[in-house]
Structure formats: C-alpha cells, structure tokens
Amino acid sequence: MMPGDEERYSRQILFAPIGLEGQDKIRQAEVCIVGCGALGSFQAEALARAGVGRLRLIDRDYVDHTNLQRQWLYSEADAENESPKAIAAAGRLQRVNSGVQVDPVVADVTPSNAEELVNGFHLILDGTDNFETRYLLNDISVKLDIPWVYGAALGSYGIVMPVVPGVGPCFACVYPEPPAGPQETCDVNGILASTTAAVASLQVAAALRLIVGWPDFACRIQTLDVWSGSLRQMSAGARDKDCVVCGRRDFRYLDGYKRTPVSLCGRNAVQIHELARPLNLMDLAVRLRPLGEVRVNEFALRLAIPKFQLTFFADGRAIVKGTTDVGVARSLYARLIGS
C-alpha cells in the first residue's frame, strides 16, 4: 500500500473480510466502467473512495440537465458546458482521490474497439442502458476471461448479476435473447435516484468481493424495489453447456452481426454509430454554421436546427436529439454528413 493508506482506508480495513491484505488487492486492482451515467458514476466514486488503483471510465455521451437528478459526480456547470461524462467524471474523481489513476475515454463501445478498451483490466462494471452493449460485454468477458457485473434500473426496480467466466453462467445462459418488442425506458417510465444508487452499490459490493477473492462468492441474481422495500436473491443457475457464448464460443455481438443504432435512455434521442469515419470537428463547424446554431470544442460539435439537436463526435458518431425514430435519425445524419 501507499504511505497514508492505512489511515485513509482504516474503516474499510477494519472490516474483517477485507483487512490489510484485501486493501492491498484493492489498491492493485484495475477496473473498467462502461457507461458513466446513473450507475457508472456512482460505481466510479465508490471505487475511487475505496482506493482502487486504476479506473477506466468509458462513456459516449455528454452531461445534460436531465442527468443531474440521478447521475452522481456531475454539476450544473458540467451540464451548461455540455462536458463529456467521462471527462467530467474523471475531473471530479481526481479531487476525491488523487491516488487513483483515472483514465477517461470518450467513446462508444463497439465490436471494433471493445477488446482494446477492456483488455488487461481485472473487472468490468456495467453502467450501460441497453442490452446490445451488455451482450457485447458478455462476449468480451467470456473471450478474455474477465468477470463483469451486470446491473439495470428502472423506476423503483433494479437487478444485479455478476458474471464470472468458468465459475457460473454467463449473461447469455440466463438471457439467451434480448427482450422482444418495445421496452420500458426511464425517459417514459421515470426512475428514482435511490434505485440507481442501490443497484450500483450492490454492483460495487460484488466487485469488491471479486477483487479481494472472497471464497464464498456465488453468481446470484439480486432484485430489489426501493419503493416497496423488497429485496430478493436467487441462484443464477448452472452454466448452459449449449450456450451460444460460453458453450459454443460464438461471439455474435463481438463479431458485429447484431450491431444496430442505439436509442438512448433518459432523453428523446438516437445514437448513430454504424459509420466509422473520423470527423474534423472544426471543419465541420464551418460547413454547418449556415444551417443553425453551432457550438464546438475538442470533444464534440453541437448543431441546433428546428426540432432537432445533433451532437457529432470526432469518431463519426452522432446523437440525434428530438426523435426516437432510427429512420429519421439516419436520414438527418445522411443529409448532413453523407450516407
């Protein structure tokens, strides 16, 4: 441990399942958090305060005023400045614990970059808001033998499940296919900050048990409802020997067969990420200014036109705010950038 760690983390060290040995393992741990929204931002601060050695924060989005009700780490100034979440979170965490190495990445996790982004980390925490990315994380987890902790929250309900390759079932064993049809979202159905905090707390607790090597660790599904006060825990079951992912090692999401545009949770928006093309944001700003109000910085360009706001990123992604219709979003992207 580093000088001063025994005093700083004394209350955590006094907790018998962690102790000095466990705290040293926490200090050496490298954790990748995918998504820095309501779940990921809480996970990041909790792990930084716990003394995790290195945190990689990956997020594709920027801070919006609607985030402030439930997303930790961010301020009104971050929303006003439209700061990328990963950058804003990293700045806050460095003030919380300067001894933690924080590596912010402003990017979308895709089949083309997923392995590079998470390879070498000891653990992945799910802070995402869509099943596509979770199946992609599951593919990566099984392929690279990296545990991950799934979590989801909506309204007052939440669910948590750790996935440890070779120990218990993978995500695809339990959920072979994503749910069909329209799904409830926090944009329509709402969400409580206490729900996201509870789910993220359980994810962090599972992460710490994995990091310290708690011998009684088991892959269990935990569900909760903070409004009714209910909490349930059940076995995730055994591995499915015929599972597409951990049984047959067919990584469909990692191979890109399932890639589609993603509707974002928490705002009336669609992200377009199917066309990988670097964008020169400053040049793009000059071209788009005649069409509407343009704001640009080193991370993103925002264009406001009647009915829509479009945010373009240097990697070619765009978030189209003002619609949940993928066809409309694609059409706008094609008109402004090209198909």
b/e string for 307-317 if b means 16 or more Cβ within 10 A?
ebbbbbbbbbb
Structure tokens at 200: 């993220």
Give the separation between CA 129 and CA 41, rounded to whole angstroms: 13
Q: For residue 158, which phi and psi values (nearest 5 degrees)?
A: -145, 160
Give the separation between CA 219 and CA 113, rounded to whole angstroms: 28
Residue 145 near residue 170 (C-beta atoms within 8 A)? no
| Residue among 238, 36, 30 at smallest CA distance from 128 | 36
Residue 311 near residue 300 (C-beta atoms within 8 A)? yes
Q: Annotated catalytic sites, by residue?
A: 186
106, β-bridge pairs: 59
Structure tokens at 278: 């670097």
Environment class of residue 33 by beta-carbon count within 10 Å: exposed (0-12), middle (13-18) or buried (19+)?
A: buried
Give the separation between CA 40 and CA 266, rounded to whole angstroms: 14
How wide is the angle at C-alpha 258 spanned by C-alphas 256 and 263, nearest 5°?
Answer: 115
Structure tokens at 258: 């399932």
Secondary structure (DSSP) of 256-297: TTT---EEPTTSSEEEE-SS-----HHHHHHHHGGGSEEEE-
- How far is the first Cα of the chain from the last one, in angstroms, to the nearest whole number? 53
Structure tokens at 167: 């120990």
